[in-house]
């Protein structure tokens, strides 16, 4: 008996009294008496319409995905101009967390080193300010604030500024990261080469922030200093290299991971 041309029920070549199912490739073990079924011819293949791919019978080989011809190879994003190859920039959120941690550390160190100057600055007005605020006298409050010893206050702010510079410059030259940055897993490097910063680059990077903070504490210049600090803080959000203003001055970037020597 010749091999059937398609799947269906055919006369069993091993037993003429029954039908046996042929799956299109092999004879199966499914049989039925000849008197209850008649051989079924294979279903004709659908005629393909013009402009459409031919339709395969179900189960005949792998079926093409209906949208396969619409898929296009994905294009990798274009590298950022001027950015070193294989560089992963630090997320803005991690930079903010590191900034807050470093600010707390420097502020605590300033209180330890210069707390006496801060107390001497506010000592004359503590009692008068408390009495003026209890009475609700606005003019008395202003007068009490005017009795602060600004010489001692300037000394405290000077100590805080020196600690800020020393803290950041030492850490960037030593580890390319401050403790706040090490905590969140980011570091600073120059655009033109990896590794910890040289002293000149670290001073230029930290100096911008220090000058802006100093201006924020000087009468008539406090507005300028505050605006500079705010712009420096939010500038990486829109910058393609996520550089703050102090990064642009020093030509540095903040990256994920630790910078190797």
> How does pLDDT run across 38-91, given as a tens digit for each residue?
556 666 666 666 655 555 555 555 555 555 445 555 555 555 666 877 889 999
With b for 16 or more beta-carbon neighbours within 10 A and e for fewer, the 155-188 pattern comes to: bbbebbbebbbebbbebbbebbbbebbbebebbb
98 and 19 co-located in one domain: no
Does 136 map to a domain? no
Tokens for 112, please give them. Answer: 């330890």
Which residues, in sequence order, are CB contacts of 43 under 8 Å at separation 6+?
Answer: 6, 57
Report the share of the chain in percent with pLDDT over 90: 44
Q: How many CB atoms lie within 10 A of CB 79?
A: 11
For residue 33, the enclosing domain spans: 9-38
14 and 98 co-located in one domain: no
Q: What is the DSSP letter of 70?
A: G
162 and 250 co-located in one domain: yes
- What pLDDT does residue 122 have? 79
- What pLDDT does residue 208 have? 93
Which residues, in sequence order, are CB contacts of 193 under 8 Å at separation 6+?
Answer: none
17 and 103 co-located in one domain: no
**What is the C-alpha separation between 53 and 152, in angstroms, rounded?**
87
Number of domains in the chain: 2
Does 196 map to a domain? yes
Does 57 map to a domain? no
Q: Which stretches of the chain drop beneath a pLDDT of 50? A: 68-69
- What pLDDT does residue 203 have? 96
Does 101 map to a domain? yes
Does 43 map to a domain? no
Does 231 map to a domain? yes
Confirm whether pTM is higher than 0.75: no
**What is the C-alpha separation between 250 and 248, in angstroms, rounded?**
5
């Amino acid at each position: 008996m010749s091999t059937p041309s398609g799947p269906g029920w055919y006369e069993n070549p091993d037993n003429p009294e029954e039908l046996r199912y042929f799956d299109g490739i092999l004879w199966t073990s499914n049989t039925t008496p000849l008197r209850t079924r008649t051989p079924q011819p294979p279903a004709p293949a659908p005629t393909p319409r013009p402009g459409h791919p031919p339709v395969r019978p179900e189960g005949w080989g792998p079926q093409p995905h209906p949208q396969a011809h619409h898929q296009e190879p994905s294009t990798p994003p274009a590298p950022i101009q001027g950015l070193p190859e294989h560089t992963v920039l630090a997320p803005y959120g991690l930079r903010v967390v590191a900034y807050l941690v470093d600010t707390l550390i420097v502020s605590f160190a300033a209180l330890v080193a210069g707390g006496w100057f801060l107390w001497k600055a506010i000592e004359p007005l503590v009692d008068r300010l408390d009495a003026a605020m209890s009475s609700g006298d606005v003019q008395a409050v202003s007068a009490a604030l005017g009795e602060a010893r600004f010489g001692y206050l300037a000394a405290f702010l000077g100590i805080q500024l020196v600690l800020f510079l020393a803290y950041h410059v030492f850490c960037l030259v030593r580890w390319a990261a401050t403790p706040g940055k090490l905590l969140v897993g980011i570091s600073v490097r120059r655009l033109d080469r990896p590794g910890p910063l040289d002293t000149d680059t670290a001073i230029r990077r930290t100096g911008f922030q220090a000058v802006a903070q100093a201006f924020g504490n000087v009468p008539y210049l406090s507005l300028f200093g505050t605006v500079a600090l705010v712009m420096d803080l939010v500038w990486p959000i829109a910058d393609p290299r996520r550089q703050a203003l102090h990064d642009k001055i020093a030509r540095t970037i903040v990256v994920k991971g630790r910078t190797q020597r």
